[in-house]
Structure formats: structure tokens, C-alpha cells
Amino acid sequence: MLNKETFVPIQFFKKEAYTGSMNGMRYRINKVEEGLEAAVYPEPYCYEATPDEQKIKMIFPFSEEGRQQAVDWINQQYEEKLSIWKSSSRK
């Protein structure tokens, strides 16, 4: 699970997207005009190579609170869709 206290600071997103993975689930957070866009999708491909229909996205405010909400949402998506992530990590 991602830790809100040690996750990259909000200033990081002003320059580039942040990506990572956890047990079959990949995630990406980046700054968009509306705020912070968080996306989760199954492994093995990068964000750009994964079909849009496999991505789940949510927009949060571009603020420290929004950053924390995005981390919570990613953790929630991981737990709620564990069967998807486990099946993608076996491929």
C-alpha cells in the first residue's frame, strides 16, 4: 500500500507524472488542467501502451489534500479490484 506521509510531494507533479506499480496494478498521477489525475490499470504495459478502456481515472484538487486523496483512492482501487491485479501479474 502507498503511504501518504512518504509519497512524493505535491511540487513533484508540477513538472512530470509519477508512475509506479504494486502487485499487478500500475498507477500514474499527473497534473492536468482540472487538478491531479490519478489512474490505475493492470500490468504489464506502461500507461501509454495500455488501452484506455483498461484505465480507471479520477480527478482530485491540485493541493496537498488532493494528493492525499489520490493516494487513498489508489489504495482503495487496489483493494477493491484485487482479483484484476492478481490475474494481470500472472501473465
| Residue 91: pLDDT band with limits 50, 70, 90 | low
- pTM (two decimals): 0.93
Domain residues of the chain, as ranges? 54-91
Eight-state DSSP code of residue 82: H
| Percent of residues, the chain, with pLDDT higher than 70 | 97
Beta strands in the chain (DSSP E): 18-22, 25-32, 35-42, 56-60
Q: For the segment 13-47, what is each residue's pLDDT rounded down to a tens digit?
A: 999 999 999 999 999 999 999 999 999 999 999 99
